[in-house]
Structure 1
C-alpha cells in the first residue's frame, strides 16, 4: 500500500465507538465501554462533567458492567487475551478492584444483584466443560453456593423483586430458549410461556410489585413481539404490540412503569418506539439519527439513553427526552473529523436466488458495479449485516470498490422461517445464494474477473465453501476465524457450544457423511483464488486448528495462501495493533488481486 492510503486506512481503523451504556442508579451518570485506549475499557459520562472520563482501568478487556441497585457497587467482567472466560471483579469505591468470582479456567455469566445487593447470581461451567450451573455468592463473606445444577447451557438473568427467586435462561437450540422462574427456597422451576413450543424469549422486564413481567417472544409467530405475563399464571402470555414483518428486539420498562421503550429492526435499521401500558397506545421517537439502536437504559422517568451506530457513526450514546420532546448526543467517541466526509451510507438492495427467494444486501459504493467488487459475508450464521460502521468496508468503498454485504438465507431479522432455511442439510443453499448474488452483480455490470470475498467466523466458512464449490467466481478470498470442516470444528469447539451448534449444523452422530461431503478441507484441490487467513490463538469458539489444518493442506499443494495467527486474541480481534495489521494486509491483498 502507498503511504498515503495506509495512513488513511489507519484513520478509519482508529474511529472508536461508545457502546453498552448502563445508567448508574441514583446518579445522572452513565458507564459505557469503548476501545479508544486500544482495548475495551469502562468509561463514564456525567452530566456535570465537561468530558467523558475513564471509570476504571483493567489489565485486559472489559466485557460487561453491572451496577448494584443503589449504584454504590459495580461488578465488571473481564477475560484474558480474548479467551472469553469472563471473571468478575468488584468495585466499591474509587479505583479499588477486588477479585470476586475468579476461576480462570472457567466461564462465568453474571446473573444479577439481589434487591438488597448483598448477593449476586452467576453461572459457571466449573463442574463440567459443557454444563453451566447456577451459583449465588454472598458479597460480604465471599461464600458461594450452587443452587441449581444443569447439564447444558443455563444462565440466570435477574432476581425476582422479592429476592426469593431467579429468572433463568436455558438454551434449547441455536436460536430458541426457555425462561423459567426458579424458586430459591423450594428449588422449583416454573416455565414462562407454554410448554413444547419452540421460541425465542428475550429482554425480560419485571414490575416492582413482583406481580407482572414483560418480554419479547416469537412463540406461535414468525417475528418477535411484545408480550406480558403474570407470576400467578406465567404460562399464559398476552400479546401487547407487534410488527407483522419485523422483529421487536429490545424493551425497557420506564422507572414509573408507564411506558415500554422498544426497538424495531426494519431490514437492518432500527426504529425507536414507546408503548403506553395503560392506554395501550404507541408513539414513535423522532430526531435521532438513522442507524441501529440498542442498550436502552432510562436515565429517569422522562429521559431514555440509547446506543446508536450506523455506517457513518461508529457508535455513541444519545438521549431522548420525552418531556421536552428533544434528542441529544451525549458522547462524541465515534467522531472522526478527518475522514467523516469520506464515509458513505449503504443502499439496501435485493436479488432473487436460485429458488426465487428474495435476498437483501447492503451496497457500498457506486451502483454501476463497474469497479472491483468485494462481497462481505457475516458470521453467526444467525446474525445479520446491519446499518453499522465497518472500517474496511468504508475504506474499500472510498478506494473505488463496490462492497456488497448480503443477508443470505439463515440470517436473523427476517423471521423464523428465513433463519431456518439453511439448517443442517440445507447448508449449501446459503452458499448457492452467494453464487446467484455474483451472477446478479455480473448482469448489472460487474467484471467477473474482479470479484473478491471475505468473512469472519461462520462467514469464514461461507468464504471457504464458496471458493471450493464455486471456485471460478472468485479472484481473491479472506477467511477470518473460519470453519474449514464441521466435523473437526464440533469435535474441538467448547463443549458448552457443541450441543447448540449441532442444532444448526447437524450432529457428529447423524451427519458426518454430510460434513465430509461439503467440507472445504476436502475440496482444497478446487481452490483457484489466492487465500488470506487470520485466526486468534485463544479462540474458544472456532479453534485455531481449523485454520492451521487448512493452511497446511494448501501449502502442501503449492497454493497461494498465507496464515496470520494472533497470539493474544480469541474469536474477536480486539487489540488495535492487531486490527491495524489484519486490515492493512486485507486491503493490500484485495488491491493486489482485484485491481
Structure 2
C-alpha cells in the first residue's frame, strides 16, 4: 500500500471530506537494543504460544514465559535453540512477523497493566522501537501488516480521562478499613461524559454512520483510531479510520493493492466487519461477525472475494464467502463451510488465498482442518461454494489457540491441553504434527509425583431447563465412591468458554484434595448465539442461579460434599462469585473473587471508556438501565453475605479497577465476615508474571483449603 509523505488525512464515518482524528498520530520512539542484557534464569516448566513465522517458514517468533514473564522469543523451526528478542519485563500479548521478513511486530503491556503499546524489532534483536502507545496514558493495539510489509496497522486509544491511579500494597490487605471508598461516586457521572449509542434494553446498537468525528480536544468519551505506520520512518502515519466512543477497532487485512481494508469494530455481541475504501474513507460493505478471535477474515489475492468467520443469521459461526465488486461492495454472501452444532473458532489464510485453515470448537475441544478454496471468478453466478479436499489433523493436545499458515504449505499451531503446558507444533501439508524443540516437554508439565488430571465433560440442566456444560476435575487420591470438597470455578467474559487446557491453578487445588467443577453458565461461548445472549438484561439473574444449579448437580452425582462447597472465578467470574455468595448465602463455605465487579455503578465510573462502551451491550446502560444494574450488583445485597471471602486484584487493573474488590471486602469486614484482599504488584487484569501467578494460586488454595478441608485436631 502506498504511503503518503504528507500529514495523514481522516474521513468522517460514511461521509466524504476531512475531519479531525479522535487520537493524535503515533510517534515512533527508538529503544536501546537488549542484546547486552544479562541472560535470564530459565524455568523448566514453561509455555510457548502465539507463533508467527518468517516468509520462508524456517524461523518462528512466539511468546514464551520461560524467563518468568511472557516475552518475545524467536528460534529456528526445526532446532531446539531459541533466544529472547526483547529482554524487558513487560508482558507480551501478540506477535506478527512482517511479510517481507524485515520486522517483527508485537504488543506489550508496560508494568503489566492494561494499557498496551505496539513495538517492532528486527529479527536479529536490533532496531527496537515503539510504533504506537508511547505517550503517557495512551494505549495501542496490533493490527495487520500490509501485504508487502511496508506498513503496520495499529489502533490507538485516546488516554483515559478518569485520572484514577490505584495503589496496591502487594500483600494481603491489612485489617484497617480507613481507605477512602469510591462507592459514594454519583452513578453515571463519568458515563454522562462518554455518551455513546449503545443500549441494551432500549434501541439496538447503531453505528453513527453520518456523524463527523469531533475535535480531539473535545472528545470526552475516548476514541479509537486506526493508522498505517511505516517502521522505517520514511513516511508519515496514514489514518485509515477513527471513531469516537468506540468499543473496539482492529485492522484485520488490507488488499494487495491497498485499495481496501478489512476492519472489525463494535461492542461485544454487536461486532461487525467493515470493508473500507482507503482512498475515500467510505464504508463499502458491512456484516455482523462473531465474537471471539479478533482476526475475522482475509481478502483473496485479487480482492474480489472476502472470507469471513461470522455467525450472522445462524447459531454457530461459519466460514462465509463475500463476493465483492471492483469498488469493494458486497455482491452476495454465501456459506462456504458450516457445522450444525460447532462454531468456527479460528480462520487463517496465506496471502495467496488458495487454501484456508479452520479450527472448529467441538464442545470445548478443537478439530483442525485445511480446505482448498476455489479460484475467484467475479463473473460467475452466485451459488454453493465448491471447496477442494479437506485434510484433518490428529492433534496431541485438546485445544488449538493460534494457527500460522505458511506460504509453502503446512502451518505452525499453538496447542494447549489439560495435561500439557502450551506449546508450538509444526504441521506439514498433511497436518501431521511435530513439536518444536523449544516447547516444553509433556513430562515437565507438573512437579514430579503430582500426575496431571484429565477432566471429564459434564452436562446438567438449569432450573429453567437450559442445558449447561462444563468439565469436572477429580483430586487424584479421591475414592471414586466418596464425595469430597469441591470448588466451582467460573470463567470470565462472560463470553469465554471453559476448555480442557492446562491450568496450574486447578492442579494446585487438586493437590490440596479439592475437586474442581468448571462450568459454562449461560452467556458463555461455544454453545451458540442463543446461549450467549441468554444472560442479557434480567437474564443475568438466571446466570447467578446457574452457579447454584451446577453445584447442586455435582452434589446429586455423589461427586461433591454438599457442606464443603467453594466458589471462585476471575473477571466476570469474580462478579459471579460475589453474586453467588450474596444470592445463595447458605450454599458455599468459602469464596475467592478475582478482579470482579462488585457494583456496576462504580465499575462504569472507573473503567476505561472503550471497556464501558462494550460492557453496555452485555450488562446494560449505566443510565438507562440504572435500576437493573443496581439490582444485579453484589453490593446491593451485601447484608446477605455470610461466607468467608478472599479478593485478588492486580494493582494496575483499569478494566475492573481494584476499588471493586476493596469496597466488597470493606463491607464484608464491616459485617464481621472473614475477608481479606491480595493485591498483586505490577499486574493488570491478567496475571502474567510467574512469581505473582504462584502467589495468587497458593493464596487462593490456602484460603479454600482452610474452610473446605477438615484437618485433625492437634
TM range, normalised to the smaller chain?
Answer: over 0.9
- Please name the residue that 1:118 is paired with: 150
Please list the CA deviations of residues 207-247 of structure 1 after superposition, one character each: whole Å capped at 9, or x if unmatched: 22222221111111110011112231425212111110110
Contact 2:47 2:421 in 1 (8 A): yes
Matched, 1:106 2:131: no
Please list the CA deviations of residues 294-318 of structure 1 after superposition, one character each: whole Å capped at 9, or x if unmatched: 2111234332211110111121011
Matched, 1:231 2:231: no
Please list the CA deviations of residues 103-143 of structure 1 after superposition, one character each: whole Å capped at 9, or x if unmatched: 23111122222334333322212344531022232332363
Matched, 1:49 2:144: no
Q: Distance in 2 between matches of 1:256 and 1:99?
A: 30
Secondary structure in 2 aligned to 1:349?
strand
- Please name the residue that 1:394 is paired with: 507
- Please name the residue that 2:645 is paired with: 531
Give matches, 1:85-484, under 5 Å. Answer: 85-92=115-122, 94-96=124-126, 97-101=128-132, 102-126=134-158, 127=216, 128=219, 130-139=222-231, 140-141=233-234, 143-151=236-244, 152=246, 153-171=248-266, 173-193=267-287, 203-232=296-325, 233-234=329-330, 236-254=332-350, 257-278=353-374, 280-281=387-388, 283-323=390-430, 326-330=432-436, 331-333=438-440, 335-337=442-444, 338-339=447-448, 342-365=451-474, 368=481, 370-445=483-558, 446-484=560-598
The 1:420–1:453 alpha-carbon spacing in structure 2 relative to 1, beyond 3 Å, is same
Moved more, 356-365 or 116-125: 116-125
- Please name the residue that 2:53 is paired with: 23
Moved more, 456-465 or 332-341: 332-341
In the superposition, the TM-score normalised over structure 2's length comes to 0.77
- Please name the residue that 1:58 is paired with: 88
Q: Distance in 2 between matches of 1:161 and 1:461?
A: 45
Q: Which has the higher contact order (CA 8 A, sep 6+)?
A: 2
The 1:443–1:326 alpha-carbon spacing in structure 2 relative to 1, beyond 3 Å, is closer
- What number of residue pairs does the alignment pair up? 578
Instruction: Identify the structure with the greater strand proportion.
Output: 1
The 1:457–1:31 alpha-carbon spacing in structure 2 relative to 1, beyond 3 Å, is same
Show structure 1 runs of 5+ residues with no match: 1-12
Contact 1:15 1:335 in 2 (8 A): no
The 1:507–1:230 alpha-carbon spacing in structure 2 relative to 1, beyond 3 Å, is same
The 1:300–1:368 alpha-carbon spacing in structure 2 relative to 1, beyond 3 Å, is farther
Q: Distance in 1 between matches of 2:538 and 2:482?
A: 33
Q: Distance in 1 between matches of 2:349 and 2:661?
A: 45
Please list the CA deviations of residues 128-187 of structure 1 after superposition, one character each: whole Å capped at 9, or x if unmatched: 45310222323323633434331223332222211233222111x322311112222222
Moved more, 296-305 or 269-278: 296-305
Secondary structure in 2 aligned to 1:490?
helix
Q: Among 623, 630, 651, which residue is 1:516 paired with?
A: 630
Q: Distance in 2 between matches of 1:252 and 1:225?
A: 13
Q: Distance in 2 between matches of 1:93 and 1:174?
A: 35
Secondary structure in 2 aligned to 1:111?
strand
Moved more, 341-350 or 389-398: 389-398
The 1:100–1:277 alpha-carbon spacing in structure 2 relative to 1, beyond 3 Å, is closer
Displacement of 1:14 in angstroms is 7.5
Secondary structure in 2 aligned to 1:593?
helix
Q: Distance in 1 between matches of 2:449 and 2:526?
A: 28
Secondary structure in 2 aligned to 1:315?
strand
Moved more, 110-119 or 342-351: 110-119
Q: Distance in 2 between matches of 1:257 and 1:124?
A: 29
- Please name the residue that 1:36 is paired with: 66
Q: Distance in 2 between matches of 1:244 and 1:141?
A: 50
The 1:111–1:60 alpha-carbon spacing in structure 2 relative to 1, beyond 3 Å, is same
The 1:502–1:115 alpha-carbon spacing in structure 2 relative to 1, beyond 3 Å, is same
Q: Distance in 1 between matches of 2:449 and 2:301?
A: 44
Displacement of 1:202 in angstroms is 5.2
Displacement of 1:482 in angstroms is 0.6
Q: Distance in 1 between matches of 2:341 and 2:78?
A: 42
Secondary structure in 2 aligned to 1:31?
strand
Contact 1:45 1:52 in 2 (8 A): yes
Q: Distance in 2 between matches of 1:91 and 1:118?
A: 14
The 1:39–1:529 alpha-carbon spacing in structure 2 relative to 1, beyond 3 Å, is same
Contact 1:453 1:477 in 2 (8 A): yes
Instruction: Identify the structure with the greater helix proportion.
Output: 1
Contact 1:167 1:182 in 2 (8 A): yes
Contact 1:63 1:86 in 2 (8 A): no
Q: Distance in 2 between matches of 1:405 and 1:14?
A: 28
**Deviation above 6 Å: which 4+ runs of structure 1?**
none
The 1:198–1:113 alpha-carbon spacing in structure 2 relative to 1, beyond 3 Å, is closer
Show structure 2 runs of 5+ residues with no match: 1-42, 159-215, 375-385, 710-714
Moved more, 563-572 or 509-518: 509-518
